[in-house]
Amino acid sequence: MSGKTTLTLPVDNFEWLGENLFRQPLDPGEFFFVQILLRPKDGHKVSGDNKHRMIRYYCVKSKERLAELRNEIMALCTLHNARAYVHPTPRFEKEVAGAMLKMAAEEYVLGNYHLFRRLHATACGQTFVRDKKKFVVDLDGETVWSDERIESILYHCRGVGGDKHNKIEYRVRTKSGIHLITCPFDVGQFEKEWKNDKVLSKYPVPDIHKNNPTLLYCPAGFTFDATCGYCRHWQRNKYSDLAFGHCEANTIAGKSRVSLVYDYPACGEFEADPQRCDEISSGGNQAPNGNTEGET
């Protein structure tokens, strides 16, 4: 098979994040910070500074409010070819107000009066509730499929939440992989353990974000690069909060065909079936409903 075949699906994490972000009730004055951002990776000529990339932002205090905003946010993302993000660590109105006052005084002295309208969004991005802090571990490409090894490393890292089942709180799919939403941990120890692992050491240490958002919605979709004759699958009983799998490109009857077996709690329809994967790989019948197939 020459070249690559790429399948794209919308990445809609509204329902999944609504359930996980609001698993525990927020305290009075707390909220989650949602942003719609332009990204250079999507072809926009913008700088890395969010003040030049942000279309709109929201302060969301409930799962119901997030659901109400879904259609509006999706429409804006589609219109502007933008992505929606949410910070997994909640914000607190009092801390945001304090940060605004400090920045306002600084900008006033400097004469930057035109920046005042942006101060609230900037303060929302910079402040967070420290005792509810979350890290985002960004996994792309091959490292996505080493989830169990990564979970084992995190389990042994120093930090808050030493219990194995609480270290990774939940997983969020992105356009090219997944985000692991975790409690804080010793990043230096994680990097050392990664480099000493015989499998993971083949790949770069993933980015670990201490105050960055995770993906809420992306109209461009979740992209798979087809690889001839290769098959991977995850079973739902392996992970309670995330399960997906796929059969990548196979050459059947002289034609290159891509068969995608996909399952995700927010939008998936079925589980990856290893036996079914083998049938497709050997030129079996048409994949069951829910698979995405294409030819190149």
**Band (166; pLDDT cuts 50, 70, 90):** low
pLDDT of residue 52: 66
Mean pLDDT of 129-153: 83
The token pair that represents 239 in the structure block: 């992970």
Between 135 and 144, the higher pLDDT residue: 135
Helix (H) or strand (E) holding 4: none
Per-residue model confidence as pLDDT tens digits over 249-296: 333 334 333 333 333 333 333 233 334 333 333 333 333 333 333 332
> What's the pLDDT tens digit per position in 197-246?
888 888 889 999 999 999 999 985 433 333 333 333 333 323 333 333 33
Percent share of the chain, pLDDT over 70: 65
Binning pLDDT at 50, 70 and 90, where does residue 163 land? low
Give the integer Cα–Cα distance in Å for 33 and 177. Answer: 22
Q: 63, 19 in Cβ contact below 8 A? A: yes
- Of the candidate ranges 33-37, 134-138, 183-187, 292-296, the one whose mean pLDDT is the lowest: 292-296
Query: Pick from 64, 68, 84: which is nearest to 11 by CA?
Result: 84
What's the CA angle centered on 173, arms 170 and 177, to 5 degrees? 115
Distance CA 258, CA 251 (A): 9
Q: Which of 36-40, 86-90, 203-207, 287-291 has the highest mean pLDDT?
A: 86-90
Computed on alpha carbons and rounded to an integer, the radius of gyration of the chain in Å comes to 21
The DSSP letter of residue 201 is G
pLDDT of residue 250: 36
pLDDT score for 224: 39
Cα 113 from Cα 131, distance rounded (Å)? 34
Q: What mean pLDDT do residues 162-182 have? A: 81
- Kindly list the domain boundaries of the chain, sorted by start residue: 9-131+212-219, 134-209, 226-295
Instruction: Report whether pLDDT(47) > 90.
Output: no
Please state the φ and ψ torsions of residue 231, each to the nearest 5 degrees: -140, 130
